[in-house]
Amino acid sequence: MQEFPKNFFWGASTASHQIEGGTLNDWSEWEKENAVRLAGEAELKFGYLESWPQIKGEAMNPSNYISGRACDFYNRFEEDLELAKSLNHNAFRFSIEWSRIEPERGKFDEKEIARYKRIVDSLRKKGMEPFVTLWHWTIPLWVRDQGGWESKKTADDFGEFSQKMAESFGGKVRFWITLNEPEIYSNASYLKGCWPPQKKNIFAYLKVFNNLAKAHKNVYDLIKKNDPQAQIGIAKHNIYFEAYQNKFGNRLMKKAADWWWNFRFLDKIKNKLDFIGLNYYFYSLIDEGFGKNRNQAVSDMGWELRPEGIRHALKELKNYNKPIIITENGLADRDDKHRSWFILETLKNIQKAIAQGVDVRGYLHWSLLDNFEWDKGFWPRFGLVEVDYKTMERKIRPSARLYARICKENKII
Protein backbone atom coordinates (compact mmCIF):
# COMPACT_ATOMS: atom_id res chain seq x y z
CA MET A 1 0.00 0.00 0.00
CA GLN A 2 1.24 3.44 -0.81
CA GLU A 3 2.08 6.01 1.85
CA PHE A 4 -0.09 8.93 2.82
CA PRO A 5 1.32 12.38 2.03
CA LYS A 6 4.25 13.56 4.11
CA ASN A 7 3.31 15.34 7.36
CA PHE A 8 -0.18 13.86 7.24
CA PHE A 9 -2.14 14.61 10.42
CA TRP A 10 -3.28 11.51 12.28
CA GLY A 11 -5.36 11.67 15.40
CA ALA A 12 -8.77 11.96 16.98
CA SER A 13 -11.43 14.59 17.59
CA THR A 14 -13.36 15.55 20.70
CA ALA A 15 -15.69 18.29 21.95
CA SER A 16 -15.76 19.98 25.36
CA HIS A 17 -19.34 19.28 26.43
CA GLN A 18 -19.05 15.64 25.41
CA ILE A 19 -15.95 14.80 27.44
CA GLU A 20 -14.98 17.45 30.00
CA GLY A 21 -17.71 17.08 32.60
CA GLY A 22 -18.98 19.80 34.92
CA THR A 23 -20.12 22.21 32.21
CA LEU A 24 -22.85 24.79 32.80
CA ASN A 25 -24.39 25.86 29.51
CA ASP A 26 -27.64 25.72 27.52
CA TRP A 27 -27.27 21.98 26.97
CA SER A 28 -26.53 21.04 30.58
CA GLU A 29 -29.72 22.88 31.62
CA TRP A 30 -31.77 21.35 28.82
CA GLU A 31 -30.60 17.86 29.79
CA LYS A 32 -31.96 18.26 33.31
CA GLU A 33 -35.36 19.29 31.97
CA ASN A 34 -35.55 16.56 29.34
CA ALA A 35 -33.82 13.46 30.74
CA VAL A 36 -37.00 11.75 31.94
CA ARG A 37 -38.79 12.43 28.66
CA LEU A 38 -35.86 11.15 26.58
CA ALA A 39 -35.64 7.95 28.65
CA GLY A 40 -39.38 7.44 28.22
CA GLU A 41 -39.15 7.81 24.43
CA ALA A 42 -36.13 5.52 24.07
CA GLU A 43 -37.95 2.27 23.27
CA LEU A 44 -40.03 3.92 20.58
CA LYS A 45 -36.97 5.55 19.02
CA PHE A 46 -34.37 2.83 19.39
CA GLY A 47 -36.32 -0.38 20.08
CA TYR A 48 -35.87 -1.46 16.45
CA LEU A 49 -32.07 -1.40 16.64
CA GLU A 50 -30.08 -4.64 16.61
CA SER A 51 -28.21 -3.24 19.58
CA TRP A 52 -31.40 -2.66 21.61
CA PRO A 53 -30.98 -5.65 23.97
CA GLN A 54 -27.54 -4.31 24.90
CA ILE A 55 -28.41 -0.65 25.15
CA LYS A 56 -31.89 -0.65 26.62
CA GLY A 57 -30.74 -0.56 30.26
CA GLU A 58 -28.86 2.65 29.63
CA ALA A 59 -31.22 4.14 27.05
CA MET A 60 -34.26 3.82 29.36
CA ASN A 61 -32.45 5.31 32.34
CA PRO A 62 -32.84 9.10 32.74
CA SER A 63 -29.31 9.45 34.13
CA ASN A 64 -27.98 8.38 30.71
CA TYR A 65 -29.15 11.76 29.40
CA ILE A 66 -27.28 13.93 31.90
CA SER A 67 -23.75 14.81 30.79
CA GLY A 68 -22.65 15.28 34.43
CA ARG A 69 -18.98 14.53 34.82
CA ALA A 70 -18.85 12.99 31.29
CA CYS A 71 -15.35 11.47 30.87
CA ASP A 72 -13.84 13.84 33.42
CA PHE A 73 -11.45 15.02 30.72
CA TYR A 74 -11.42 18.34 32.57
CA ASN A 75 -9.27 16.74 35.27
CA ARG A 76 -7.70 13.95 33.27
CA PHE A 77 -6.62 15.66 30.07
CA GLU A 78 -2.94 15.06 30.71
CA GLU A 79 -3.32 11.29 30.91
CA ASP A 80 -5.75 11.22 27.97
CA LEU A 81 -3.34 13.18 25.78
CA GLU A 82 -0.60 10.83 26.89
CA LEU A 83 -2.80 7.95 25.79
CA ALA A 84 -3.35 9.56 22.38
CA LYS A 85 0.39 10.06 22.07
CA SER A 86 1.02 6.40 22.97
CA LEU A 87 -1.32 5.53 20.08
CA ASN A 88 1.00 7.46 17.74
CA HIS A 89 -1.41 10.34 17.13
CA ASN A 90 0.31 13.48 15.94
CA ALA A 91 -2.78 15.71 16.10
CA PHE A 92 -5.72 16.27 18.43
CA ARG A 93 -8.94 18.20 17.98
CA PHE A 94 -10.69 19.65 21.01
CA SER A 95 -13.12 22.49 21.60
CA ILE A 96 -13.02 25.42 23.96
CA GLU A 97 -16.07 25.67 26.16
CA TRP A 98 -17.28 29.25 25.75
CA SER A 99 -19.36 29.04 28.93
CA ARG A 100 -16.25 28.32 31.01
CA ILE A 101 -14.21 31.15 29.51
CA GLU A 102 -16.92 33.79 29.62
CA PRO A 103 -19.55 32.77 32.18
CA GLU A 104 -20.80 36.38 32.16
CA ARG A 105 -20.64 38.78 29.22
CA GLY A 106 -17.22 40.43 29.05
CA LYS A 107 -15.90 38.65 32.18
CA PHE A 108 -13.21 36.28 31.07
CA ASP A 109 -12.05 33.61 33.46
CA GLU A 110 -8.24 33.62 33.28
CA LYS A 111 -8.00 30.41 35.26
CA GLU A 112 -9.99 28.54 32.64
CA ILE A 113 -8.01 30.13 29.83
CA ALA A 114 -4.83 28.95 31.54
CA ARG A 115 -6.20 25.42 31.63
CA TYR A 116 -6.78 25.36 27.87
CA LYS A 117 -3.29 26.82 27.43
CA ARG A 118 -1.96 23.87 29.37
CA ILE A 119 -3.72 21.55 26.93
CA VAL A 120 -2.09 23.33 23.99
CA ASP A 121 1.32 23.30 25.70
CA SER A 122 0.98 19.64 26.56
CA LEU A 123 0.12 18.82 22.93
CA ARG A 124 3.06 20.85 21.64
CA LYS A 125 5.39 19.12 24.08
CA LYS A 126 4.22 15.77 22.79
CA GLY A 127 4.72 16.84 19.19
CA MET A 128 0.97 16.84 18.53
CA GLU A 129 -0.77 19.51 16.45
CA PRO A 130 -3.72 21.16 18.21
CA PHE A 131 -6.90 21.67 16.17
CA VAL A 132 -9.00 24.08 18.20
CA THR A 133 -12.76 24.35 17.74
CA LEU A 134 -14.25 27.59 19.02
CA TRP A 135 -17.89 26.52 19.02
CA HIS A 136 -19.15 22.97 19.22
CA TRP A 137 -22.88 23.59 19.80
CA THR A 138 -23.01 24.77 23.42
CA ILE A 139 -23.50 28.40 24.48
CA PRO A 140 -23.23 30.19 27.83
CA LEU A 141 -26.51 30.78 29.66
CA TRP A 142 -26.34 34.56 29.12
CA VAL A 143 -26.07 33.95 25.37
CA ARG A 144 -29.05 31.58 25.53
CA ASP A 145 -31.00 34.25 27.41
CA GLN A 146 -30.35 36.92 24.78
CA GLY A 147 -31.83 34.61 22.12
CA GLY A 148 -28.88 32.37 21.26
CA TRP A 149 -27.83 32.35 17.62
CA GLU A 150 -31.11 33.96 16.59
CA SER A 151 -29.78 37.20 18.02
CA LYS A 152 -27.36 39.27 15.95
CA LYS A 153 -25.60 40.17 19.21
CA THR A 154 -24.44 36.59 19.55
CA ALA A 155 -22.30 36.76 16.41
CA ASP A 156 -20.55 39.86 17.85
CA ASP A 157 -20.15 38.28 21.26
CA PHE A 158 -18.72 35.16 19.68
CA GLY A 159 -16.24 37.42 17.89
CA GLU A 160 -15.09 38.90 21.19
CA PHE A 161 -14.69 35.51 22.79
CA SER A 162 -12.79 34.20 19.75
CA GLN A 163 -10.51 37.20 19.64
CA LYS A 164 -9.68 36.72 23.29
CA MET A 165 -8.79 33.09 22.52
CA ALA A 166 -6.65 34.02 19.54
CA GLU A 167 -4.73 36.54 21.67
CA SER A 168 -4.38 34.13 24.56
CA PHE A 169 -2.89 31.35 22.47
CA GLY A 170 -0.37 33.75 20.99
CA GLY A 171 0.53 31.90 17.82
CA LYS A 172 0.72 28.50 19.52
CA VAL A 173 -2.38 27.33 17.67
CA ARG A 174 -2.13 27.12 13.92
CA PHE A 175 -5.44 25.41 13.04
CA TRP A 176 -8.71 26.98 14.12
CA ILE A 177 -12.15 25.54 13.49
CA THR A 178 -14.65 28.33 14.08
CA LEU A 179 -17.86 26.29 13.97
CA ASN A 180 -18.78 22.65 14.17
CA GLU A 181 -21.48 21.44 11.75
CA PRO A 182 -23.52 24.65 11.61
CA GLU A 183 -26.17 23.11 9.36
CA ILE A 184 -26.75 20.08 11.60
CA TYR A 185 -27.17 22.34 14.61
CA SER A 186 -29.53 24.81 12.95
CA ASN A 187 -31.58 21.97 11.54
CA ALA A 188 -31.91 19.99 14.78
CA SER A 189 -32.37 23.02 17.04
CA TYR A 190 -34.56 25.27 14.88
CA LEU A 191 -36.30 23.11 12.23
CA LYS A 192 -36.77 19.66 13.71
CA GLY A 193 -36.92 21.15 17.16
CA CYS A 194 -35.31 18.21 18.93
CA TRP A 195 -32.29 20.00 20.43
CA PRO A 196 -32.23 23.11 22.58
CA PRO A 197 -33.94 25.54 22.22
CA GLN A 198 -36.38 23.15 20.47
CA LYS A 199 -37.90 25.53 17.95
CA LYS A 200 -39.63 24.54 14.74
CA ASN A 201 -39.59 27.71 12.78
CA ILE A 202 -38.15 28.20 9.31
CA PHE A 203 -37.56 31.94 9.89
CA ALA A 204 -35.66 31.31 13.10
CA TYR A 205 -33.74 28.59 11.29
CA LEU A 206 -32.71 30.91 8.46
CA LYS A 207 -31.71 33.62 10.90
CA VAL A 208 -29.51 31.20 12.84
CA PHE A 209 -27.97 29.79 9.67
CA ASN A 210 -27.10 33.29 8.43
CA ASN A 211 -25.85 34.48 11.79
CA LEU A 212 -23.54 31.49 12.01
CA ALA A 213 -22.12 32.31 8.58
CA LYS A 214 -21.62 35.94 9.64
CA ALA A 215 -19.97 34.84 12.85
CA HIS A 216 -17.52 32.67 10.94
CA LYS A 217 -16.53 35.46 8.56
CA ASN A 218 -16.08 37.93 11.40
CA VAL A 219 -13.92 35.52 13.42
CA TYR A 220 -11.88 34.71 10.33
CA ASP A 221 -10.86 38.37 10.05
CA LEU A 222 -10.22 38.74 13.77
CA ILE A 223 -7.95 35.71 14.00
CA LYS A 224 -6.08 36.64 10.83
CA LYS A 225 -5.45 40.13 12.18
CA ASN A 226 -3.93 38.59 15.27
CA ASP A 227 -1.95 35.92 13.41
CA PRO A 228 -1.73 36.06 9.61
CA GLN A 229 -0.24 32.54 9.59
CA ALA A 230 -3.30 31.01 11.27
CA GLN A 231 -5.25 28.47 9.23
CA ILE A 232 -8.99 28.87 9.68
CA GLY A 233 -11.74 26.48 8.66
CA ILE A 234 -15.01 24.99 9.80
CA ALA A 235 -15.98 21.38 10.47
CA LYS A 236 -18.57 20.70 7.79
CA HIS A 237 -20.86 17.69 7.94
CA ASN A 238 -21.33 16.49 4.37
CA ILE A 239 -23.42 13.56 3.21
CA TYR A 240 -22.73 11.66 0.05
CA PHE A 241 -25.96 11.50 -1.96
CA GLU A 242 -25.91 8.88 -4.68
CA ALA A 243 -28.42 9.24 -7.53
CA TYR A 244 -29.37 5.63 -8.15
CA GLN A 245 -28.66 4.51 -11.74
CA ASN A 246 -28.03 8.13 -12.58
CA LYS A 247 -31.74 8.52 -13.37
CA PHE A 248 -32.87 12.05 -14.21
CA GLY A 249 -35.27 12.43 -11.28
CA ASN A 250 -32.69 11.06 -8.86
CA ARG A 251 -30.07 13.44 -10.22
CA LEU A 252 -32.42 16.35 -9.69
CA MET A 253 -33.06 15.32 -6.12
CA LYS A 254 -29.33 14.94 -5.57
CA LYS A 255 -28.71 18.45 -6.81
CA ALA A 256 -31.27 19.88 -4.39
CA ALA A 257 -29.96 17.80 -1.49
CA ASP A 258 -26.36 18.73 -2.22
CA TRP A 259 -27.27 22.37 -2.23
CA TRP A 260 -29.31 22.20 0.96
CA TRP A 261 -26.97 20.04 3.03
CA ASN A 262 -23.52 20.16 1.55
CA PHE A 263 -22.72 23.37 -0.25
CA ARG A 264 -25.06 26.15 0.92
CA PHE A 265 -23.05 27.07 4.02
CA LEU A 266 -19.68 26.60 2.35
CA ASP A 267 -20.72 28.84 -0.54
CA LYS A 268 -21.51 31.63 1.91
CA ILE A 269 -18.10 31.53 3.56
CA LYS A 270 -15.76 30.16 0.91
CA ASN A 271 -13.87 33.43 0.50
CA LYS A 272 -12.89 33.32 4.14
CA LEU A 273 -11.75 29.78 4.52
CA ASP A 274 -8.21 28.36 4.51
CA PHE A 275 -9.19 24.71 4.72
CA ILE A 276 -12.31 22.58 4.82
CA GLY A 277 -12.81 20.27 7.76
CA LEU A 278 -14.93 17.36 6.61
CA ASN A 279 -17.07 15.47 9.12
CA TYR A 280 -18.20 12.41 7.23
CA TYR A 281 -20.77 9.91 8.51
CA PHE A 282 -23.61 9.45 6.02
CA TYR A 283 -24.24 8.03 2.62
CA SER A 284 -27.75 8.44 1.28
CA LEU A 285 -29.02 6.52 -1.71
CA ILE A 286 -31.61 8.41 -3.74
CA ASP A 287 -34.02 6.22 -5.62
CA GLU A 288 -37.23 8.17 -6.10
CA GLY A 289 -36.86 9.17 -2.46
CA PHE A 290 -34.05 9.77 0.00
CA GLY A 291 -32.30 7.25 2.21
CA LYS A 292 -33.13 4.18 0.12
CA ASN A 293 -30.04 2.54 1.56
CA ARG A 294 -29.61 -1.22 1.68
CA ASN A 295 -28.28 -1.03 5.26
CA GLN A 296 -26.16 -4.13 4.93
CA ALA A 297 -23.93 -3.21 7.84
CA VAL A 298 -25.01 -0.73 10.49
CA SER A 299 -23.54 0.80 13.64
CA ASP A 300 -25.08 0.44 17.10
CA MET A 301 -27.11 3.54 16.22
CA GLY A 302 -28.43 1.98 13.01
CA TRP A 303 -26.33 4.26 10.79
CA GLU A 304 -25.33 2.51 7.59
CA LEU A 305 -21.62 1.74 7.30
CA ARG A 306 -20.58 2.68 3.76
CA PRO A 307 -16.95 3.81 3.98
CA GLU A 308 -16.62 4.31 0.22
CA GLY A 309 -18.94 7.31 0.50
CA ILE A 310 -16.07 9.36 1.87
CA ARG A 311 -14.23 9.13 -1.46
CA HIS A 312 -17.18 10.72 -3.25
CA ALA A 313 -17.73 13.29 -0.51
CA LEU A 314 -14.08 14.31 -0.84
CA LYS A 315 -14.22 14.51 -4.61
CA GLU A 316 -17.29 16.69 -4.40
CA LEU A 317 -15.34 19.21 -2.33
CA LYS A 318 -12.52 19.45 -4.84
CA ASN A 319 -14.06 22.43 -6.65
CA TYR A 320 -13.45 24.63 -3.63
CA ASN A 321 -9.71 24.27 -4.18
CA LYS A 322 -8.88 24.15 -0.49
CA PRO A 323 -6.89 21.67 1.54
CA ILE A 324 -9.18 19.22 3.33
CA ILE A 325 -8.75 17.70 6.74
CA ILE A 326 -11.13 14.96 7.85
CA THR A 327 -12.14 16.52 11.17
CA GLU A 328 -14.53 13.67 12.09
CA ASN A 329 -15.38 10.18 10.97
CA GLY A 330 -16.37 7.23 13.09
CA LEU A 331 -19.11 4.96 14.36
CA ALA A 332 -20.88 3.85 17.52
CA ASP A 333 -19.60 0.30 18.02
CA ARG A 334 -19.47 -0.81 21.65
CA ASP A 335 -18.08 -4.28 20.92
CA ASP A 336 -15.55 -2.98 18.39
CA LYS A 337 -17.01 -5.40 15.82
CA HIS A 338 -16.73 -3.13 12.80
CA ARG A 339 -14.32 -0.34 13.73
CA SER A 340 -11.08 -1.89 12.41
CA TRP A 341 -12.68 -2.80 9.11
CA PHE A 342 -14.37 0.59 8.93
CA ILE A 343 -11.15 2.53 9.53
CA LEU A 344 -9.22 0.46 6.99
CA GLU A 345 -11.87 0.83 4.29
CA THR A 346 -12.26 4.52 4.99
CA LEU A 347 -8.54 5.10 4.70
CA LYS A 348 -8.33 3.13 1.46
CA ASN A 349 -11.02 5.38 0.04
CA ILE A 350 -9.25 8.50 1.23
CA GLN A 351 -6.16 7.27 -0.57
CA LYS A 352 -8.17 6.79 -3.73
CA ALA A 353 -9.45 10.36 -3.47
CA ILE A 354 -5.89 11.61 -2.96
CA ALA A 355 -4.79 9.63 -6.03
CA GLN A 356 -7.54 11.43 -7.93
CA GLY A 357 -6.15 14.80 -6.99
CA VAL A 358 -7.99 15.72 -3.78
CA ASP A 359 -5.72 17.58 -1.38
CA VAL A 360 -6.34 15.70 1.89
CA ARG A 361 -3.99 16.65 4.72
CA GLY A 362 -5.20 14.66 7.71
CA TYR A 363 -7.62 12.22 9.33
CA LEU A 364 -9.02 12.78 12.82
CA HIS A 365 -11.18 9.92 14.01
CA TRP A 366 -14.31 10.56 16.04
CA SER A 367 -13.54 10.02 18.80
CA LEU A 368 -10.63 9.43 21.15
CA LEU A 369 -12.93 8.40 24.01
CA ASP A 370 -16.45 7.13 24.40
CA ASN A 371 -18.42 10.26 25.19
CA PHE A 372 -21.75 12.01 25.70
CA GLU A 373 -23.67 11.81 22.44
CA TRP A 374 -26.03 14.78 22.93
CA ASP A 375 -29.73 13.81 23.06
CA LYS A 376 -28.81 10.09 22.93
CA GLY A 377 -26.65 10.33 26.03
CA PHE A 378 -23.90 7.89 26.89
CA TRP A 379 -25.02 4.63 25.30
CA PRO A 380 -23.50 5.22 21.82
CA ARG A 381 -19.83 4.27 22.09
CA PHE A 382 -17.70 6.14 19.56
CA GLY A 383 -14.34 5.80 21.31
CA LEU A 384 -11.09 4.33 20.11
CA VAL A 385 -10.74 4.07 23.86
CA GLU A 386 -13.53 2.64 25.98
CA VAL A 387 -14.55 4.55 29.10
CA ASP A 388 -15.98 2.89 32.19
CA TYR A 389 -18.21 5.71 33.42
CA LYS A 390 -18.31 4.34 36.96
CA THR A 391 -14.57 4.05 37.56
CA MET A 392 -13.43 6.38 34.72
CA GLU A 393 -11.02 3.66 33.71
CA ARG A 394 -9.84 3.87 30.08
CA LYS A 395 -9.39 0.72 28.01
CA ILE A 396 -7.80 0.75 24.57
CA ARG A 397 -9.97 -1.03 21.99
CA PRO A 398 -8.27 -3.40 19.50
CA SER A 399 -9.19 -1.10 16.59
CA ALA A 400 -7.26 1.71 18.30
CA ARG A 401 -4.14 -0.44 18.19
CA LEU A 402 -4.59 -1.15 14.52
CA TYR A 403 -5.11 2.56 13.89
CA ALA A 404 -1.99 3.32 15.96
CA ARG A 405 0.11 1.18 13.61
CA ILE A 406 -1.26 3.04 10.60
CA CYS A 407 -0.52 6.39 12.26
CA LYS A 408 3.02 5.28 12.93
CA GLU A 409 3.74 3.91 9.46
CA ASN A 410 1.82 6.64 7.61
CA LYS A 411 0.35 3.90 5.45
CA ILE A 412 -2.28 1.21 5.54
CA ILE A 413 -0.75 -2.02 6.81
Contact footprint for ligand IFM (CB under 6 A): 15, 18, 181, 279, 328, 366, 373
Q: In angstroms, rounded to a whole number, what is the distance separating the alpha carbons of residues 236 and 261?
A: 10
Q: Which is nearer to ligand IFM, 279 or 399 (CB)?
A: 279
Q: Which is nearer to ligand IFM, 262 or 351 (CB)?
A: 262
Q: In angstroms, rounded to a whole number, what is the distance separating the alpha carbons of residues 131 and 89?
A: 13
Q: Which is nearer to ligand IFM, 136 or 311 (CB)?
A: 136
Q: Cβ of residue 266: shortest distance to ligand IFM, in angstroms?
A: 17
Residue 143 parent element (H or E):
helix 141-145
Q: Cβ of residue 13: shortest distance to ligand IFM, in angstroms?
A: 8
Residue 372 parent element (H or E):
none
Q: Cβ of residue 389: shortest distance to ligand IFM, in angstroms?
A: 16
Q: Which is nearer to ligand IFM, 4 or 77 (CB)?
A: 77
Q: Cβ of residue 366: shortest distance to ligand IFM, in angstroms?
A: 5
Q: Are 276 and 233 in contact (CB under 8 A)?
A: yes
CA distances for 369 relative to 71, 228, 255, angstroms: 8, 33, 36
Q: In angstroms, rounded to a whole number, what is the distance separating the alpha carbons of residues 92 and 12?
A: 5
Q: Cβ of residue 318: shortest distance to ligand IFM, in angstroms?
A: 23
> For residue 291, how far is the Cα from the chain centroid?
22
Q: Which is nearer to ligand IFM, 4 or 74 (CB)?
A: 74
137: phi then psi, degrees, rounded to nearest 5 = 85, -20
Q: Are strands 91-95 and 129-135 parallel, antiparallel or unpaired?
A: parallel
Q: In angstroms, rounded to a whole number, what is the distance separating the alpha carbons of residues 48 and 60?
A: 14
Q: Which is nearer to ligand IFM, 4 or 196 (CB)?
A: 196
Q: Cβ of residue 277: shortest distance to ligand IFM, in angstroms?
A: 11
Q: Cβ of residue 280: shortest distance to ligand IFM, in angstroms?
A: 10
Q: In angstroms, rounded to a whole number, what is the distance separating the alpha carbons of residues 301 and 384?
A: 17
In sequence order, the 6+-apart residues with CB closer than 8 A to the CB of 27 are 17, 67, 137, 138, 196, 374
Strand partners, 121: none
CA distances for 214 relative to 112, 161, 235, angstroms: 27, 15, 16
Q: Which is nearer to ligand IFM, 184 or 297 (CB)?
A: 184
Residue 133 parent element (H or E):
strand 129-135
In sequence order, the 6+-apart residues with CB closer than 8 A to the CB of 157 are 105, 143
Q: Which is nearer to ligand IFM, 148 or 377 (CB)?
A: 377
Q: Cβ of residue 168: shortest distance to ligand IFM, in angstroms?
A: 24
